[in-house]
Amino acid sequence: MFGLFRIVCSTAAFILLTLSAAADGDDPALFHDDGRLTVRGHLQFGLNTVAEDNLFWDLAAITAPASGFDPDTEWLEGYVKPGLSFEHRLDTGLVVYGKFSAVSSYTWGTDAFGTGDTGASTLEEAYLAIKGDLGSGMSFDLSLGPRELTLGTGMLIANGATSGFERGALKFGPRKAWERAAIGRLASGNLRATLFFLDPNELPSTDGNNELAGFDLRYDDPAGGYLGATFVDVLNSNSPYPINLLPLFGAREGTKTLNLYAKTSPLKGAFEGWTFSGDLAIQRNSRIDLKAWAGRVTAGYTFADLPWSPNLTVSYQTFSGDDPNTTQYERFDPLYYQGSPSAWATGSKSASTFINSNVNALSLALRVQPTQRDTLTLRYAHIRANELNSPIQFGQATRVTATGAIITGVTDPHLADDVFLEYSRIINRNTFLTAGISVSFPGKGIDNVIGGNADPWTGGFINVVVNF
């Protein structure tokens, strides 16, 4: 680990010095360009300070009293991600390109999951690719090796790597690339087809040996909308599903998911200023009799004539849970979704507790831009469980009652109400500041687990990211 750490930091220092030396140029990240070969440097680093109070509504005091978990904590986390990419144009018209990058991250103090003063250096992207035209308006793009890939709206395929825990930088989550990736794209006009094989870059301590394959077909409207479909097949997995209160390891293997997604272009006429989007996912696994589903609908409106250009978005998303009264298994597996508040997070703080399974959320987001550099976003989410006495997150709230009965999940559907205020500032073209405060008010479902009125969970953060 330390050998790779030294390599990553030395590479980052070299790239930073090179960029600084070329700061007066039009493109300081451009190392070489002779018309055929282009070489670019990449460097991203950030620092984030976080404070949390009454983490997870102090559920650990009831569900794991022997753990000694401290619900109040503060920590500092940071990362550096240097990289180098190239593009070589051949006489045949083909283009060979690739990228190499690595990540070093660390957490000082104890984070939300009780891990701290630890970090790791890992390979990020290391792929080689070729692209070119096929004639008649068609083109292809083939790549092999670790790289980032997001499909559709990020409902299933987006976050290819895991941060936090022994790797540090829990909140930042600087790792995105899949550990192994073979990606083929074929495009014609505004239509694009993608075939993929993916192996996620999981934590060594919890590696489920997952392998995925599938396709994505997407049409992009030049005016801004899109229509698409993603199919994902889990070819291999040791990852468990919580079935009958116990982990069934390897249950994910064979799970197949079809996701349909769409978004309108900004509408005109009576609906001018409005945009609508929707996702629907159907999931099956005949080996364990899994039949699950999930979906989301959103409506957004931009008040273009008002100061600060307010944008209001209303959304409802839901993910099926397992009905404990049937022999069929109905719990949705969200796979590798994009869990940021602007994407597929269920709530803000609650997203650290509940994965996108057996939950639903009605959300509102109001975004204003006082200046071109400043953005304020206020988010609210009302979060509920779809099935009572059924797992929400793996093992969530499994406990023994006073009578000796084992129960799981919650006995009331209302989980929480989350409020999150976020401020973003573009300091310059390379430097970005983000700060936020949030609070999660527990619902009756959480109160019933605790056996009383649970206190709110509060927290805040401020970070700076520099990206060349």
What are the extents of the domains in the chain?
2-467
What band does 402 get if pLDDT is binned at 50, 70 and 90?
very low
Among 229-238, 274-283, 403-412, 438-447, the minimum mean pLDDT is found in: 403-412
Helix (H, G, I), strand (E, B) or coil at 375: strand
Summarize the confidence of residues 341-349 as an average pLDDT. Answer: 93
d(CA 446, CA 61): 13
Q: 281 pLDDT exceeds 70? A: yes
**Which CATH fold topology does 2-467 show?**
Porin (2.40.160)
Closest alpha carbon to 204 in 249, 248, 148, 166 = 166
* pLDDT given for residue 273 in this prediction: 87
* pLDDT given for residue 63 in this prediction: 75
Q: Is 372 exposed, middle or buried (0-12, 13-18, 19+ CB in 10 A)?
A: exposed
Closest alpha carbon to 456 in 467, 437, 443, 445 = 443
* pLDDT given for residue 221 in this prediction: 94
Percent of the chain with pLDDT over 90: 79
Closest alpha carbon to 214 in 227, 229, 199, 230 = 230
Q: 427 pLDDT exceeds 80? A: yes
Q: 346 pLDDT exceeds 80? A: yes
pLDDT higher at 403 or 355: 355
What band does 406 get if pLDDT is binned at 50, 70 and 90?
very low
* pLDDT given for residue 272 in this prediction: 86
Q: 17 pLDDT exceeds 70? A: no
d(CA 337, CA 376): 25
Q: 157 pLDDT exceeds 90? A: yes
Provide CB contacts within 8 A for 346, sequence distance 6+.
317, 354, 355, 356, 359, 361, 381, 383
d(CA 149, CA 177): 7
Q: 32 pLDDT exceeds 80? A: yes
Phi-psi group of 48: left, alpha or beta (phi > 0 → left; psi -120 to 50 → alpha; rest → beta): beta
pLDDT higher at 1 or 257: 257
